[in-house]
């Protein structure tokens, strides 16, 4: 088995930044990739809040720019899915798609995935009307009626994107006020009748056997239920961490996100975590990149001490 100074797991902004910083420091780096580099920004139509791009930038364009930083660097990037991590500092064994690799350190940057509503039939209807990615699936619903569930930036951003494509959009939020940025709320308000906002409301039932045909929505203050005929449902009700492969000993918070200190160190010596996988307040591309740089520096210092 080939040995690396660092195994970086995840190729989103945190992972790419960590791999870049480590490679530029002279470390040998392995970065197994399950999907195309870029992570969740590949699912974002446009980004308006990333510094350096005041007019905004397409998600895939920013992903390409991130990945370009790896050109010419000594980063091995096999197409593989990480299945497990065993061992200890100086000799972690990372199993990925049936192959085993050895890393002196590990930097976990696998991020998070969209949380489902947890309703009966949701799994069955996923890909058949139920989606968690507007930029991936929005075009299938051109000129049709869809609903978006959520109240954060993701829900508002994707509603704005979908409004350009669909005929009618319901935005359903369980609270009176949105958590998303005011600038997105103002843009939604300017769209008029094309978007109907249902506040203090939750989806209680999905309708349809092979394809989604409608939703039952409950108004929380009155208990009144209403059935909406929709062709698509886009869910943005939070995230779940992608930590299935991690040793049970890695400390996590109540939601399963990895707990680190300010230097991205976990409770397991030699294992670091960066980006959306961490237990933290702000999950944005810029904070993921910052985490990745910090984790890389902390891993480099750890390697220096390991070799001393």
Which residues carry out catalysis? Answer: 133, 136-137
Q: Do 295 and 107 meet the contact criterion of CB atoms below 8 Å apart?
A: yes
Sign of CA dihedral 190, 130, 138, 44: positive
Q: Which helix (H) or strand (E) holds 185?
A: helix 182-189
Q: How far apart are CA 144 and CA 169, in angstroms?
A: 9
Q: How far apart are CA 64 and CA 56, in angstroms?
A: 15
Residue 41, CA distances (Å) to 12, 133, 267 in order = 8, 11, 29
The pair of structure tokens assigned to 5 is 């100074």
Q: Do 217 and 172 meet the contact criterion of CB atoms below 8 Å apart?
A: yes
Burial class (CB in 10 A: 0-12, 13-18, 19+), 89: middle
Q: Do 277 and 295 meet the contact criterion of CB atoms below 8 Å apart?
A: no
Q: Do 26 and 126 meet the contact criterion of CB atoms below 8 Å apart?
A: no
């Amino acid at each position: 088995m080939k040995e690396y100074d660092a195994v970086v797991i995840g190729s989103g902004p945190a992972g790419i930044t960590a791999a870049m910083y480590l490679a530029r420091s002279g470390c040998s780096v392995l970065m197994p990739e399950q999907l195309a580099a870029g992570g969740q920004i590949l699912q974002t139509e446009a980004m308006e809040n990333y510094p350096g791009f005041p007019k905004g930038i397409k998600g895939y364009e920013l992903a390409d720019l991130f990945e370009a930083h790896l050109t010419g660097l000594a980063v091995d990037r096999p197409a593989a899915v990480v299945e497990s991590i065993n061992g200890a500092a100086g000799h972690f064994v990372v199993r990925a798609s049936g192959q085993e690799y050895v890393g002196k350190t590990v930097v976990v940057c696998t991020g998070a995935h969209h949380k489902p509503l947890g309703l009966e039939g949701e799994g069955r209807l996923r890909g058949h009307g139920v989606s968690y990615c507007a930029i991936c699936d929005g075009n299938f619903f051109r000129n049709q009626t869809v609903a978006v569930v959520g109240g954060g930036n993701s829900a508002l951003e994707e509603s704005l994107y979908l409004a350009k494509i669909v005929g009618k959009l319901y935005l359903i939020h369980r609270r009176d006020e949105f958590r998303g940025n005011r600038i997105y709320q103002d843009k939604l308000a300017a769209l008029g009748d094309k978007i109907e906002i249902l506040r203090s409301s939750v989806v209680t039932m999905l309708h349809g056997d092979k394809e989604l045909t409608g939703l039952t929505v409950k108004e929380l203050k009155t208990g009144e239920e209403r059935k909406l005929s929709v062709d698509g449902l886009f869910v943005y009700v939070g995230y779940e961490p992608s930590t299935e492969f991690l040793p049970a000993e890695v400390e996590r918070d109540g939601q399963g996100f990895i707990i680190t200190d300010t230097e991205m160190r976990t409770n397991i010596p030699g294992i670091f975590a960066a980006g959306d996988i961490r237990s933290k307040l702000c999950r944005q591309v810029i904070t993921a990149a910052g985490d990745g740089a910090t984790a890389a520096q902390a891993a480099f210092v750890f390697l220096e001490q390991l070799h001393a």
